[in-house]
Amino acid sequence: MTSEDPDRQSAGIESATDFARVDDGFERLWTPHRMAYIEGTRPTAEAGDGCPFCAAPQRTDADGLIVARGELCYVVMNLFPYNPGHLLICPYRHVPLYVDLTDAETAEFTAMTKTALRSLTTTSSPMGFNIGMNQGNVAGAGVAAHLHQHVVPRWGGDSNFLPIIGQTKALPLLLEDVRARLAAVWPH
């Protein structure tokens, strides 16, 4: 132990300078909870009751947080949203990859994505969007077995210290309220 502070020494508090460190210019945010994804110990979603995207359409729109239903695809609120209005576009069919969609499913999937952007713009005036799919566990898909596309509205300053330091995301609207607003403006 160094002799920089006698009170710290008597309290048994170690100095950070006592530990090996290589200054490489990076700050570290340790996320050990992600090991479940890396090690493959996170449960997979089987078709049917085990898959949240197969189960949601079996419920009422309000209970399943479904915004809109098409013939081959549907739109649902994300239960763990990055921002208010975070939507998922899903085919009813339990397929893992975008290339597994039929041409008809692809057309409806794309049309629903465009309608999601228009509806979110009408209800919440975002400044931009993140749109994307994580295909496979290694790519970060939370439910890799059932294809889904994220549509995340973004605003300037919507990211701050709270999610990083406090592991908390401040969401000003309840999922049910956002779903109701979007369903009200979704063209029928």
Residues labelled as active-site residues: 148
**Which residues sit opposite 152 in a β-bridge?**
130
Three-class SS string for the chain?
CCCCCHHHHHCCCCCHHHCCCCCCCCCCCCCHHHHHHHCCCCCCCCCCCCCHHHHHHHCCHHHHCEEEECCCEEEEECCCCCCCCCEEEEECCCCCCHHHCCHHHHHHHHHHHHHHHHHHHHHHCCCEEEEECCCCHHHCCCCCCCCCEEEEEECCCCCCHHHHHCCCCCCCCCHHHHHHHHHHHCCC
How many whole angstroms from its chain centre is CA 176?
Answer: 17
As a whole number of angstroms, the distance between CA 98 and CA 133 comes to 9
